C-alpha cells in the first residue's frame, strides 16, 4: 500500500505581456517538516507519513519527490503540511507596477499573527519571522484564500473559515500511487493593482495555490 507523493504545476505557459495580476510563479518553495493525512475531512486522528527534522526548501513547481510511506487502504480527504511560514516564490515576469520583478525571489510570511495547531496537537503562535505552522487542506473546506484561516483544521462541514480546499481526496488501494498537485498559475500579483488579493500598495503578493490529488 505504498504511494508516492509528488508535486507539480498545471500552469499555463509564460505570458508574453506585462501585467499587474494573473502572473505565474517560476518557482514556489516550501520547507516541509511533516506531512500527515486523515480519514476525516475534519482532520482528526492524523497519521504522519513524512517527518523531517531539518528539511531544505523544495520547489513545489519542479516535480519534487516529497517522500513515500505506507497507509492502509482507504480515502483520505484531509492532508496537513507542517512547514515554515516563510514561503519563497519568483514571478515569471516584471509587473507594470514594478513591485514584481522576474529577477528577484520574494519571501512571504504567510502566518505573521494568530496561532496554528501542529500535527502533534500542540499550538504555536505566529509572529514575524520564521515560524513552524501546519497548513490544513480538506475536501470539506470551501475556501481557497481570502480571510480563511489555513493553519487550523476545519470544524464543520463546508467550512469557509478554516483550512483550504483540497480538490480531491487521496485514495489508497493496493499498490496505488498518487500525485499531489499544486497549481500556482496566475497567483502572483502587484498590489499597485486594486484588484490584487493582497490589497493596495508596495508589494508583490502570492495568493494561495490550488491543491488536489491525481490518482495514477
Q: Where are the domains of the chain?
A: 2-215
Residue 80 bridge partners (DSSP): 36, 136
Of 117, 121, 41, which Cα lies nearest the Cα of 76?
41
- CA atoms in the 13 A half-sphere facing the CB of 204: 27
Q: Residue 8's pLDDT is what?
A: 43
**Residue carrying the nine cell digits 499531489:** 180
Of 156, 77, 158, 80, which Cα lies nearest the Cα of 117?
80
Of 118, 158, 111, which Cα lies nearest the Cα of 134?
118
pLDDT, tens digit, 9 for 90 and up, residues 82-108: 999 999 999 999 999 899 999 999 999
Q: Residue 10's pLDDT is what?
A: 40
Q: Residue 61's pLDDT is what?
A: 87
b/e string for 119-147 if b means 16 or more Cβ within 10 A? beeeebebeeeebbbbbbbbbbbbbbeee
Overall size of the chain counted in residues: 216
Q: Which residue ranges of the chain lie beneath pLDDT 70? A: 1-18, 67, 176, 198-202
Amino acid at each position: 500500500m505504498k504511494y508516492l507523493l509528488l508535486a507539480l504545476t498545471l500552469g499555463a505557459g509564460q505570458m508574453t505581456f506585462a501585467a499587474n495580476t494573473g502572473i505565474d510563479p517560476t518557482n514556489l518553495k516550501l520547507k516541509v517538516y511533516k506531512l500527515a493525512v486523515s480519514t476525516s475531512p475534519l482532520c482528526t486522528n492524523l497519521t504522519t507519513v513524512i517527518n523531517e527534522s531539518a528539511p531544505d526548501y523544495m520547489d513545489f513547481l519542479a516535480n519534487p519527490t516529497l517522500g513515500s510511506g505506507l497507509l492502509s487502504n482507504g480515502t483520505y480527504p484531509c492532508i496537513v503540511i507542517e512547514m515554515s511560514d516563510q514561503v519563497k516564490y519568483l514571478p515569471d515576469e516584471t509587473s507594470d507596477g514594478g513591485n514584481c520583478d522576474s529577477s528577484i525571489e520574494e519571501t512571504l510570511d504567510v502566518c505573521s499573527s494568530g496561532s496554528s495547531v501542529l500535527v502533534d496537537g500542540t499550538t504555536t503562535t505566529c509572529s514575524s519571522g520564521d515560524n513552524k505552522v501546519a497548513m490544513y487542506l480538506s475536501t470539506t473546506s470551501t475556501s481557497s484564500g481570502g480571510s480563511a484561516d489555513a493553519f487550523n483544521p476545519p470544524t464543520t462541514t463546508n467550512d469557509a473559515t478554516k483550512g483550504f480546499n483540497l480538490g480531491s481526496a487521496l485514495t489508497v488501494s493496493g499498490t496505488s500511487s498518487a500525485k499531489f498537485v499544486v497549481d500556482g498559475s496566475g497567483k502572483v500579483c502587484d498590489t499597485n493593482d486594486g484588484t490584487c488579493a493582497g490589497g493596495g500598495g508596495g508589494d508583490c503578493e502570492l495568493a494561495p495555490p490550488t491543491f488536489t490529488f491525481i490518482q495514477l
